[in-house]
Amino acid sequence: MTKPLIIVESPTKIKTLKKYVGKQFNIAASAGHIRDLPIKTLGIDIDKKFKAKYVNIKDKSKVIVNLKKLAKNTNEIYLAPDPDREGEAIAFHIMDILKKKDRVFHRILIHELTKKGIQEALQHPLTPDVHKYDAQQARRKLDRLVGYQISPLLWQKVQRGLSAGRVQSVAVKIICNREREMRKFVTQEFWTITADLLAQFPPGFNAGLIKIDTEKVKIDNEKQASKIVKSLEKEDFIVHQIKTKTIKRNPSPPYITSKLQQDAINRLRFSAKKTMMVAQRLYEGIEIGTGGPEGLITYMRSDSTRIAPDAAQEAQQFISQNIGSEFALSKPRFFKNKKKVQDAHEAIRPTSVFHTPDKIKNFLSPDQFKLYDLIWKRFVASQMAQAMIDQKTILIQASPKYLFSVSGSTVKFPGYMTLFSQTRELTEKDSQPLPEVKEGTPLKTLKIIPKQHFTKPPPRFSEATLVKELEKNGIGRPSTYAAILTVIRDKGYVDLIKRYFVPSELGFIVNDLLVSCFPNILNISFTAQMENNLDDVEKGSLEEVQLLTDFYSSFKKSLDAASEDMISVKGVGVPTELACPSCGKQLNIKIGRNGHFLACTGYPECSFTSNYLRDEKGGVSIVEKIIDNTKVKDCIKCGKPMVQKEGRFGLFLACTGYPDCKHTESVNGEQSGKDIGVKCPETNCSGTIIERKSRRGKIFFGCSNYPNCTFASWDKPVDRPCPDCNSPYLVEKETKREGKFLKCPNRECSFKEHL
């Protein structure tokens, strides 16, 4: 018999494991999931208790062969995919593929890829957790049932290629709702009044009017403000009351996934997706001069704020030795989890606080260092003494009628703030220096300042605030947030403009159709309750089949009704209040393959189309087309002059004999873009592929014969046929994990060749 086999999820973990147990075990990786539901069919037998039909993933055939080869002569296999639901599913699928008489499978949960973490996992093997697997199964089936049965409706009613998702659609709804709140918002004017005051000795300070005749101040317009200012100019200002107190501030707990994503977005300008990719690398192991890779942080998908006692104790030792004994605690600080939080993992923390960011900086990439520095400081700060802040509030009277207030704060003892500040602990207003005064002290009035303000609408969601909103409402789980944010952008439902999410026209249309026909699926409370139900499945208190049965009975009714009742906008578009400038009929917003545009409802008699803009209130206005009426050449079909026009792919030549002659040509020269030297793969097309820019500035590749030929690709075509399926061309792709490679554009073909 050969050595026992450890199977991990990610290939990058193999080096780290070999460093510690390589002599005792063989080690292999599944490289993620090896089985999944089929791509072309639903893959779920609804009539047979939602039984799933799993198939081997095409790209994983070599991985599966290798796993079977390594497992051939061993009867003991340790399943070590990531310690979460997805990892549990991977473990079960590996078991199914490698099952054999007398073969024993152990489930090990490696929460940190260190010698201690690995040995602890091997010393305490578990049986695979069927309840956790059922929870993952339930989520996967729910997502498949929703996605594969609603998406075809959208293809039929809107356009092909669209998709709906059980959680992603709710995220789009949240963004659309916020946009509509902004459009409906009515700005209101208000005024504030402040007084620049001076005591006997400097510094001067600024106090704000808070009450008039014991009522909270409310000034609606300049006339009211001016009247108050004139009255105040006659009054004497006297210190009425002084309030002092010392505030004790405790540090925040170590990071959970959602909080790490929010801070990385706000502080480091990382996306949620990038944050998780960098954190994954820190978890899986990096060479830091200790004779092999070492995991630097604990598992990065966690809802729990729990920390191991020995980790907390190590932090106390570090703080005493390196920061100062006055910053350490007499006993470690532990944090309570919120209700229903799964406590399978610790919070995200450094595997050793003695691996300080500065000490290992030279071994990390700039992004790895920034994220590790954030995680390390937050954890160490969580074990430091609380901060002590002295706060003083001075209340000032100008006659019995007017009451002003000013507050100031000073740090008495910084505590954890020495290392890590959760927010701007002291605002500029709070930190202004205040004079030493006593009650009854008269004050000199330097100036009375009225200031106009306007109420602001609620802001759009950034990645950080959307993650916070999803978390607050129980939508999805922290491990899924990065994927949700990526999908809703990739599908074109929202755009990220100046770091804020703005719903696209397509996003609004799809959202409104889904809200109308599937109110439960798009209901925030319903979606949050489903997450709780999945947690109950994991705990074993709810059966997977029962959850799916309860969901599907209601969903099927909505699905059947939607197939009849869902409004079709395909070819019709969404009405606007604009009149066609050519014929006076109504303009509708239509959705084409290349974006949204205005089109006349009088088509085909009137062929007017135009790009458009929306203002802050959602109003639509026509964007005038760029048309150069200077003759460029004669039409080769009818002999009439051809002029330059602007279309959705840029400039092109059009015959002035339209609509009798519909001949068009591409614009030659620089405006056509860079020719990449590849023939257009479309049958009977004589064009070549040129590099172009979309309206949003993204590079894509299209045919030089546009608009007669509409071939387009986001990936760069390569003039070489696929050896497996005979596709006339391949495309060039590049990822961080795999580098540059060639891939077949045919989705049914798995050909791939690394460059």
Annotated active-site positions, please? 299
Helix (H, G, I), strand (E, B) or coil at 588: strand
Cα 124 to chain centroid distance, Å, stands at 36
Helix axes 463-472, 478-490, angle to 10 degrees: 130
Q: Would you give the DSSP letter of residue 500?
A: E
Q: Please list, in sequence order, all residues whose beta carbon lies within 8 angstroms of the beta carbon of residue 156, skipping any fewer than 6 positions away.
A: 568, 570
- Three-state secondary structure along 295-351? CCECCCCCCCCCCCHHHHHHHHHHHHHHCCHHHCCCCCCCCCCCCCCCCCCCCECEC
**Nearest one of 296, 314, 277 to 357, comparing CA atoms:** 296
Q: Would you give the DSSP letter of residue 719?
A: S
**Nearest one of 548, 527, 667, 117 to 350, comparing CA atoms:** 117
Q: What is the largest CA-CA distance in the chain?
A: 99
Q: Which two tokens stand for residue 233?
A: 């100019």
**Nearest one of 138, 208, 101, 177 to 450, comparing CA atoms:** 208
Q: Residue 210 forms beta bridges with which residues?
A: none
Torsion of CA 378, 379, 384, 388, to 10 degrees: 30
CB 629 within 8 A of CB 618: no
Q: Which two tokens stand for residue 674?
A: 């860079």
Q: Which two tokens stand for residue 72?
A: 């051939």
CB 483 within 8 A of CB 489: no
Bond preceding residue 503 cis, omega within 30 of 0: no
Q: Which two tokens stand for residue 5?
A: 């086999």
Between CA 531 and CA 479 the distance in angstroms is 13
Pairing of strands 739-743, 730-735: antiparallel
Helix (H, G, I), strand (E, B) or coil at 255: strand
Q: Could you give phi then psi for residue 41, rounded to 5 degrees?
A: -125, 165
CB 588 within 8 A of CB 575: yes
Between CA 293 and CA 20 the distance in angstroms is 10
Q: Would you give the DSSP letter of residue 582?
A: T
CB 294 within 8 A of CB 286: yes
CB 466 within 8 A of CB 266: no
Cα 729 to chain centroid distance, Å, stands at 34
Between CA 595 and CA 506 the distance in angstroms is 9
Q: Could you give phi then psi for residue 732, rounded to 5 degrees?
A: -95, 130
